[in-house]
Amino acid sequence: MTNQANEPGAEALDLAGKHIVLGLSGGIACYKSAELCRGLVKAGATVQVVMTEAAAQFITPVTMQALSGRPVYSSQWDGREPNSMAHINLSREADAMVIAPCSADFIARLVQGRADELLSLMCLARPLDRVPLLVAPAMNREMYAHPATQRNLAQLQADGACVLGVGVGSQACGETGDGRMLEPDELLEDIIAFFMPKVLKGQRVLVTAGPTYEAIDPVRGITNLSSGKMGFAIARAAREAGAEVTLVAGPVSLATPRGVTRVDVKSASNMLSAVAAHAQSATVFIATAAVADWRPAAASAQKIKKDGSGQTPQLQFTENTDILATVAGLPAAQTGRLFCVGFAAESHDLLENAQAKRLRKKVPLLVGNIGPDTFGQDHNALLLIDAQGSLELPRASKLSLARQLVREIAGRMAACAPTDQKATTP
């Protein structure tokens, strides 16, 4: 019988069980808050919207009530609260308060500890030890760059708030620059990441992803069907877990995960150079990329054309340097300061081939999967192999598997860390 808990559609929602107070201050970016509210609900959260009087000039409470499925609050004197203490009741229920948009004026209110309307009063009254405050600034570029705003943002962070970034681009006023509120999907990704356990805090993770492309001539080349989705999911999961992440990506058209540094490469030699430049400072290397084993010995400077003879061109191949084996051979990897994880995409005999590859590459952890079942797909199943045996991660979304893999890596690193390091590991 199929275990429905392992079916892709049965996976846990990222914010299941979380109750979010979504606060809106005045600004045109309120139109993005509607989509953010919808995204939070779809991720499993319950959302209580609280709006300032200024926010209601840009979007109606009716809209936010329809999207959240809950009545919207805007007055500290709201008669729906029997004890007339909406600022206490609503803040105590929250797992987090998110102010999006957070205008320059509202940032100043927070820093000053103002409490002259419901939303700022709730921020002041919230229990600091268990209700975090996340703010998404939104304002004109000159307002954002003003020393007073920058001082206020720095003080807000010093007071314990999590200040999310801002976007860069065209603004409603017609100007262009910093200060736009982040897009709803970016904010949602940041909020989800905020709640994730920081099992890799302090680690520097280097990930490779996607295929490589080995040129035959200016218009043709050798590549494979890897989409890069697994590697990008791992980069996101590592960042969610608190790591500083560098992603070396082959030729794929995927969006860079939030907070991840991306290095784009094309060929296996390009990828080797990029990995070599970052491996010395990394503490974890995850080789997810499907790197070409061979490349043409010499790419033609011009397109190789048919001549009508029926004869095929004679191509000579040379073997690419093994990136995983190269990194695993570094002194940092040999001494345990760099934890190396390899991937094996096989077409058959997964366990046997993956076990052999782990020993051949000399890495502590090898992740196996069946290539035809994963390339280009949003779901996968993984087989983790180390010196103690194997562990199967049943089919799930690649992001779900990436988060499980990150936890497994963190656990293995903690188990093999020297005693003096275990005492200080976050």
* Contacts of residue 286, Cβ cutoff 8 Å, sequence gap at least 6: 205, 206, 207, 208, 231, 234, 238, 341, 343, 409
Measured CA distances, 256 to 36, 115, 252 (Å): 20, 39, 11
Residue 88 has which token pair?
């206490």
Residue 70 has which token pair?
């809950």
Among this protein's residues, is 340 annotated catalytic? no
The structure tokens 């509120």 sit at 181
Spot the catalytic one: 30, 173, 340, 416: 173
- Judge whether 303 is annotated as a binding position: yes
- Judge whether 129 is annotated as a binding position: no
Residue 22 has which token pair?
């979504």
- Judge whether 217 is annotated as a binding position: no
Residue 400 has which token pair?
């779900």
- Judge whether 32 is annotated as a binding position: no
Sign (positive or negative) of CA dihedral 186, 191, 195, 200: positive
- Judge whether 361 is annotated as a binding position: yes
Q: Would you list which residues are annotated within the binding site?
A: 293, 303, 343, 357, 361
List binding-site positions for CTP: 293, 303, 343, 357, 361
Give the residue numbers annotated as catalytic, written as ranges.
173
